Amino acid sequence: EVQLVQSGAEVKKPGESLKISCKISGYTLTRNWIGWVRQTPGKVLECMGIIYPGDSDTSYSPSFQGQVTISVDKSISTAYLHWSSLKASDTAIYYCARFGLGSAFDYWGQGTLVTVSS
Amino acid sequence: QSALTQPASVSGSPGQSITLSCTGVSGDVGRFDHVSWYQQHPGKAPKLIIFEGSKRPSGVSNRFSASKSGITASLTISGLQAEDEADYYCCSYADSITLGVFGGGTKLTVL
């Protein structure tokens, strides 16, 4: 069974750093890209970027280029989303998802709520 | 790349058929067949219900069907059930730079 299990909710202050995780299991990791999707408090979904676990090749949507870093540790089948300096506008739910069937996100993690507030 | 346009809300009665629209531009929906649809219940992650414009993943009810004409993609739900009440999002592959572009979502209410 394909599963993506994300780390728990975070509350941070502006300027702080954060790395959230996504533990992947149930299939051969290097068969699919993994993506991160942001859902804003207004429920807008935005594709942030994708990473290929085989060689860590990464592609970011223009809005998120330079704002976050996506990485993967193949040895523990875990993908990460990292911020070096959070802003209040980063408050959202973040989902990891497998980029699979027909260039769609076919399996999703349960989401990680990130709250950034002073 | 602008978000795809979806109506904010639609409603229907149990047993009815209802169609949700998703309008893009020639560079996304109009150009590619990689339109996907997602269902999201409150407090849950989105669930893929349609990929490549009209295909259903294993386990998704055949009450869900989809098509595309020009720059507009459509999702039809037949035999509406209470459990269908959810938010529905379309998504189109745009290009290798922008990756996926989502619609703003449609809230479906089953009366």
How far apart are the two ends of chain A, measured CA to CA in Å?
40
Pairwise CA distance, residues B75 & B89, whole Å: 10
CB atoms within 10 A of CB B30: 16
CB atoms within 10 A of CB A97: 25
What is the pLDDT, as a whole number, of residue A33? 94
Token look-up 């290929």 returns A52
Q: Is 70 exceeded by the pLDDT of residue A112?
A: yes
Give the distance, in angstroms, between the CA of residue A23 and the centroid of all CA atoms in the same chain.
11
Give the distance, in angstroms, between the CA of residue A65 and the centroid of all CA atoms in the same chain.
14
What is the pLDDT, as a whole number, of residue B3? 77
Region for A88 from its dihedrals, namely left if φ exceeds 0, alpha if ψ lies in -120 to 50, beta otherwise: alpha
Give the distance, in angstroms, between the CA of residue B72 and the centroid of all CA atoms in the same chain.
11
More confident call, B52 vs A111: A111
Burial B59-96 (b: 16+ CB within 10 A, else e): ebeeebbbebeebbbbbebeebeeebbbbbbbbbbbee
Say which range, A46-55, A105-114, B21-30, has the weakest mean pLDDT.
B21-30
pLDDT band at B99 (very low <50, low <70, confident <90, very high): confident
In chain A, residues with a C-beta closer than 8 Å to the C-beta of B46 are 37, 45, 95, 97, 105, 108
What is the pLDDT, as a whole number, of residue B26? 59
Record: contact B102-A45, CB cut-off 8 A: yes
pLDDT one-digit tens code per residue, A15-39? 999 999 999 999 999 999 999 999 9
pLDDT band at A103 (very low <50, low <70, confident <90, very high): confident
Tokens standing for residue A59 = 């592609």
pLDDT band at B34 (very low <50, low <70, confident <90, very high): confident
Q: What is the mean pLDDT of residues A84-108?
A: 94
Record: contact B36-A104, CB cut-off 8 A: yes
pLDDT band at B27 (very low <50, low <70, confident <90, very high): low
What is the pLDDT, as a whole number, of residue B40? 98
Q: What is the mean pLDDT of residues A43-49?
A: 94
Q: Measured between CB atoms, which of A47, A59, A102 is closest to B52? A: A102
Nearest residue on chain B to A94, judged by CA atoms?
B45
Backbone φ, ψ for residue B49 (5° rounding) = -120, -20
In chain B, residues with a C-beta closer than 8 Å to the C-beta of A104 are 34, 36, 48, 51-52, 91
pLDDT band at B32 (very low <50, low <70, confident <90, very high): low
Give the distance, in angstroms, between the CA of residue A47 and the centroid of all CA atoms in the same chain.
9
Instruction: Give the 3-state secondary structure of residue B88.
Output: strand
Cα A101 to Cα A67, A71, A106, B11, B53, distances in angstroms: 28, 22, 6, 29, 11
Record: contact A102-B55, CB cut-off 8 A: yes
